[in-house]
Chains A and B, each alone.
Chain A
């Protein structure tokens, strides 16, 4: 296979992973208006959860089935304890509280799992890969993850566009008072959305854990790139996050090959370009 094609494939695969991490952030930010800096920590907790659960279950997909409901429940608890006090406060206080959560989760991670890097095994039936050039093979697990991300993206778009829950979420995003006036408990809605955001971040962490090595601070780069995705895609838009993440993935992979000296800034150059052309992001409302 041609080198450019291989890099394109790498970019798309990386983009899909970023989408998974960013989708939860865009929901929480877009619908609830909460800047959640601790999003990366939920990704990290997901990855560490995968590490522990896989030691018991032996298979990353069992860990996923167990871990996601756990993460959702955890999200409900965190929302009830902390986040619900933030809705009527300004962004600075949201930043303060969620930053504090990062510090707390980092410390908890260190106490529970220590600071050495770990790795999570790829299940036996996904070992190996497809040969795509003389020396290079593409791991089956990466293909499985890509497929999983696409399926999840489609499912999310379906839920948001076609179901009653989705309609309520969209209504909550555009006019919260009106939704409340129609007799819908927005507190419950917000709790659900936040927990879903946490579950999505944890899902990303779990699914990515066999690809990554699991180590302290694993969530921080994820947080930064997720914010870039949200800004490029338009705040609150799942479709935007999907396209934004793919763009970033491809820009990053091709940037590394063709502009190696600038590869760390390619992504931000892309963000700047999008913001100049469409200040609200690709699918955002005009700012």
Chain B
């Protein structure tokens, strides 16, 4: 009821609001309408120390979708990107932006384990199809597993188990661990200890550095005074590069072998140059793997982005591959959740990394390879372990 004939600013706002609501309605579409784009939320780091990883994953996913004509399961794919900055304290806010703000149909993320844990909690409650293209936090596919959450990368302990076994095979008896003291580092060491101790190895000391601190000198001095046969380290991205350079500059590379999960050298092989020579890593991917999928993937990726793909790109590729299998099974209708999840859980395909399938807790079962960094390239040494799966401890699906 308006007593005055003059239109106040508040009235104008009301009118505009009503108008906007009316205008919006005809376009509000049912989520499953055929031909409507499928909104895929990408919660990935596009800045900070893991930015390169986020970019590689995104590139590979984009390439996969483009090769399928821009559609998966008949639905045009629309990416909605949010930069999570690898900051766990902003994870809830950033995830909500996609889940509640953008109302995405599918959620893909992320790199940092801490961010992924917060993301998975929201995703589990929302029941949203969720794919994890990197973060390795063990709990994601152990106690915190859920039928809507799939991981296409690895569990943090997996590369550690493979590396520890390979170190025992190489005759190493004493080791120091020197890692970032956050979930990914701790769990990597947990896996390493599991196989290294079982093989009769001795861990002299466990040194930790707060993430993402890159001032390594103090720990390196300690390693030099402890004189182990080898060091097992988890670092990644820019931090890993600096670590290898500092390790070599301190002269430690001449007397103490440096081992780690693949992330220690992935993406920084060239930049490490001579400093990286001799660093041995266990990973679920090697550039030179001799299989048809890998050769085609490397050629296509290089043609599209003028750079060769790394393990993160492979994980991105497999993420969209898995989603594709699921969407095809339900004809692009993500509301048929049971069928969608069933198709994804049972998916088996040849990835550039080799045979790929999922465990009962929806974590990959795949091979691990031992690699040695030589003049800017991770050279294949041997298959360190085949069909490595992660324990499903505490998972209700298993």
Residue positions of A touching B, CB distance < 8 A:
3, 6-7, 10, 13-14, 106, 110, 114-119, 121-122, 129, 131, 133-139, 141-142, 211-218, 220-221, 252-253, 256-257, 260, 263-264
CA distance in complex: A142, B221 (Å): 15
List residues of chain A with CB within 8 A of the CB of B268: 116-117, 213
List residues of chain A with CB within 8 A of the CB of B215: 14, 252-253, 256
Minimal beta-carbon separation of B264 from chain A (angstroms): 13
The 6 closest A-B pairs by CB, nearest first: A215-B238, A136-B224, A213-B241, A137-B251, A264-B210, A115-B51
Residue positions of B touching A, CB distance < 8 A:
46-49, 51-52, 54-55, 207-210, 212-215, 217-225, 227, 237-239, 241-242, 245-246, 249-252, 255-256, 267-268, 271-273, 275
List residues of chain A with CB within 8 A of the CB of B48: 216-217, 220
User: When A3-B225, A133-B224, A135-B224 are in contact, do A217 and B49 touch as well, CB less than 8 Å?
Assistant: yes
Q: Is the CB of A215 within 8 A of B221?
A: no
Instruction: Give 22 pairs: A residue, B residue, CB < 8 Å, sorted on A.
Output: A10-B217, A10-B221, A14-B215, A106-B47, A115-B46, A117-B237, A117-B267, A119-B273, A129-B249, A129-B250, A133-B221, A133-B224, A134-B227, A136-B225, A136-B251, A211-B242, A215-B237, A216-B52, A252-B215, A256-B218, A260-B208, A264-B213
Interface centre among B208, B245, B251 (most CB of A within 10 A): B251
Minimal beta-carbon separation of B372 from chain A (angstroms): 19
List residues of chain A with CB within 8 A of the CB of B256: 135
Q: Is the CB of A7 within 8 A of B221?
A: yes
Q: Is the CB of A213 within 8 A of B245?
A: yes
Interface centre among A3, A119, A121, A257 (most CB of B within 10 A): A119
List residues of chain B with CB within 8 A of the CB of A214: 238
CA distance in complex: A183, B220 (Å): 56
Q: Is the CB of B250 within 8 A of A218?
A: no
Interface of B is mostly: helix
CA distance in complex: A184, B276 (Å): 55
Q: Is the CB of B250 within 8 A of A139?
A: yes
Interface of A is mostly: mixed
Q: Is the CB of B208 within 8 A of A6?
A: no
CA distance in complex: A136, B226 (Å): 11
Q: Is the CB of A14 within 8 A of B217?
A: yes
User: Which listed residue, A6, A106, A217, touches B221 by the CB 8 Å rule?
Assistant: A6
List residues of chain B with CB within 8 A of the CB of A133: 221, 224-225
User: Which listed residue, A7, A121, A142, A215, touches B218 by the CB 8 Å rule?
Assistant: A7
> A263 — nearest CB in chain B belongs to which residue?
B210
Minimal beta-carbon separation of B186 from chain A (angstroms): 13
List residues of chain B with CB within 8 A of the CB of A252: 215
CA distance in complex: A131, B252 (Å): 11
List residues of chain A with CB within 8 A of the CB of B217: 10, 13-14, 253
Q: Is the CB of A117 within 8 A of B222?
A: no
List residues of chain B with CB within 8 A of the CB of A118: 271
Q: Is the CB of B224 within 8 A of A119?
A: no
List residues of chain A with CB within 8 A of the CB of B51: 110, 115, 215-217
User: When A14-B215, A264-B213 are in contact, do A119 and B272 touch as well, CB less than 8 Å?
Assistant: yes
Q: Is the CB of B245 within 8 A of A119?
A: yes
Q: Is the CB of B271 within 8 A of A117?
A: yes
List residues of chain B with CB within 8 A of the CB of A139: 249-250
Q: Is the CB of B224 within 8 A of A117?
A: no
CA distance in complex: A115, B56 (Å): 10
